[in-house]
Amino acid sequence: MATQNDTLLENELDTTHIKRFRVYLLNDDYTTMDFVVHVLMEVFHKQFNQAQDIMLQVHKNGKGLCGVYGYEVAETKVLMVRKLAKQNGFPLKAVMEEG
């Protein structure tokens, strides 16, 4: 028989209400298209064709959606992009937006 504490625990573990964050790459005039594809494959685990499609969205629309994650994962992905870009001398930026 379930107790009141069991019900509270089940409600606390309900993951359907976790906030989700969209991670985007932003276009700039210096980062190469090849590097953007590399980042999408390395950081976001995209297949080559999918990475090319997102890179073209970034190039044509100013930003491209890389994925939707929980807060901690989204924040980590943004930081990974920043670090990888800096190591390679590019100003590529990633941002996260709630939604």
88 by DSSP, 3-state: which? coil
Query: Is the residue at 10 inside a domain?
Result: no
Q: For the whole model, what pTM was predicted?
A: 0.82
At residue 29, what is the residue type? Answer: D
Give me the torsion for CA of 89, 93, 94, 95, rounded to 10°.
150
At residue 12, what is the residue type? Answer: E
Query: Is the residue at 2 inside a domain?
Result: no
Q: Which domain, by its residues, includes 59?
A: 30-91
Query: Is the residue at 85 inside a domain?
Result: yes
Question: Alpha-carbon torsion 35, 40, 84, 92, what sign?
Answer: positive
Answer whether 19's CB lies under 8 Å from 71's CB: yes
Residue 18 pLDDT level (bands cut at 50, 70, 90)? confident
Count the domains in the chain.
1
Query: Is the residue at 19 inside a domain?
Result: no
Q: Which tens digit of pLDDT belongs to each residue from 28-74?
A: 999 999 999 999 999 999 999 999 999 999 999 999 999 999 999 99
- Domain harbouring 42, CATH code: 3.30.1390.10
Query: Is the residue at 23 inside a domain?
Result: no
Find the radius of gyration of the CA atoms of the chain: 18
